[in-house]
């Protein structure tokens, strides 16, 4: 899955887009009145309820996805494995919060809808949210500025002086710099060949790191990662450890 880099999803802009989409969906659900809520109250109350529930769910599922996605990607875990787990676990909080809000608005609902059924409704909403989130964020990659990926052999020269690392994403290379990132339609080897004298080494089959950007090393058992100046952590494959030690990086 060639999703937008997980590191680029935790920005004010992406959060604003996510919450705005949830609020819009809440208005629509308030008008439709799913799960029998159409008969609960006036339109304004229903819209306020569903907008609040969807925005709360967006924040909770958004946090869960932003925490899980980069870790799952780092270990190569399939979305078909971690996606359902996120839905099932993260649905507890929205189910509880929405239940409390609904009982405050409509006390009779406590006896009309059981806890298991309520959790099932929250899980269904979570399944739709997580599914759409992953699908939409996994479409044709976009650069940090919102534009399309740059064509082959147009490595952004202005990034050379502030280059942090290159990260391969299928047929694209994400060029990370101190000021952001951009996607380039080329292979990692083409991107490295197109650099203008920037000192660095390939640390993994899908990562190349600029020497000046390395600020530390993280060691977890036999796994090593380089801490970079922009906060990213580049994995080190076992096949590359000897080269990095010889170069004095470790």
Residue 159, pLDDT above cutoff 70: no
Q: Domain 157-246 belongs to what architecture?
A: Beta Barrel (2.40)
End-to-end CA distance of the chain: 32
For the chain, the structural domain boundaries read 6-137, 157-246
pLDDT at 143 (0 to 100): 40
The residue among 67, 74, 65, 56 whose CA lies nearest residue 137 is 65
Q: Are the CB atoms for 184 and 175 separated by under 8 Å? A: yes
Question: What pTM was computed for the model?
Answer: 0.56
List the strands of the sheet with 207-210, edge to edge.
180-185, 172-177, 163-169, 207-210, 200-204
Q: Are the CB atoms for 142 and 150 separated by under 8 Å? A: no
Residue 154, pLDDT above cutoff 70: no
DSSP-assigned states of every residue in 58-117: HHHHHHHHHHHHHHHHHHT--HHHHHHHHHHHHTHHHHHHHHHHHHHH-TTHHHHS-HHH
Mean pLDDT over 179-197 rounds to: 80
Q: Are the CB atoms for 124 and 171 separated by under 8 Å? A: no
d(CA 165, CA 181): 10
Q: Are the CB atoms for 87 and 130 separated by under 8 Å? A: yes
Mean pLDDT over 60-79 rounds to: 84
d(CA 147, CA 140): 11
* Digit-coded pLDDT (tens) for 240-250: 999 898 888 87
List the strands of the sheet with 214-220, edge to edge.
214-220, 223-228, 233-236
Residue 149, pLDDT above cutoff 90: no
User: Of the given ranges (24-38, 104-118, 160-174), which has the lowest mean pLDDT?
Assistant: 160-174
Collapsing DSSP to helix, strand or coil, 80 comes out as helix
The residue among 180, 120, 143, 114 whose CA lies nearest residue 4 is 143
SS (H, E, C) 120-136: HHHHHHHHHHHHHHHHH
Mean pLDDT over 138-161 rounds to: 47
Most confident listed range (10-14, 59-63, 173-177):
59-63
pLDDT at 178 (0 to 100): 79
What average pLDDT does the structure give for the chain? 83
Q: Please state, as a whole number, how many other Cβ atoms lie within 10 Å of the Cβ of residue 157.
A: 10
Q: Which residue in the block uniquely carries the two structure tokens 């699908």?
A: 135
Residue 26 contacts by C-beta under 8 Å, 6 or more apart in sequence?
A: 47, 50, 51, 52, 53, 54, 55
Q: How far does CA 163 lie from the centroid of its chain? A: 23
pLDDT at 153 (0 to 100): 47
Q: Which two tokens stand for residue 125?
A: 């909403």
């Amino acid at each position: 899955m060639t999703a937008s880099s997980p590191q680029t999803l935790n920005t004010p802009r992406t959060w604003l887009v996510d919450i705005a989409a949830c609020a819009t969906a809440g208005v629509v659900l308030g008008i439709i009145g799913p799960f029998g809520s159409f008969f609960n109250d006036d339109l304004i109350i229903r819209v306020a309820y569903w907008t609040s529930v969807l925005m709360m769910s967006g924040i909770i599922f958004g946090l869960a996805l932003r925490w899980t996605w980069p870790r799952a990607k780092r270990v190569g875990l399939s979305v078909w494995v971690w996606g359902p787990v996120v839905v099932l676990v993260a649905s507890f909080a929205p189910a509880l919060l929405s239940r409390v809000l609904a009982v405050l608005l409509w006390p009779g609902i406590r006896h009309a809808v059981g806890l298991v059924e309520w959790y099932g409704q929250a899980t269904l909403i979570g399944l739709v949210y997580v599914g759409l989130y992953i699908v939409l964020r996994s479409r044709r990659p976009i650069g940090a500025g919102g534009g399309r990926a740059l064509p082959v052999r147009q490595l952004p020269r202005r990034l050379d002086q502030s280059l942090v690392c290159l990260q391969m994403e299928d047929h694209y290379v994400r060029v990370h710099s101190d000021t952001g990132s951009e996607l380039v339609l080329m292979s990692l080897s083409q991107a490295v060949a197109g650099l203008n004298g920037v000192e660095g080494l390939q640390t993994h089959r899908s990562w190349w790191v600029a020497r000046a950007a390395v600020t530390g090393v993280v060691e977890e058992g036999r796994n090593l990662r380089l801490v970079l100046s922009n906060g990213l952590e580049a994995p080190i494959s076992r096949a590359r450890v000897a080269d990095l030690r010889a170069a004095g990086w470790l």
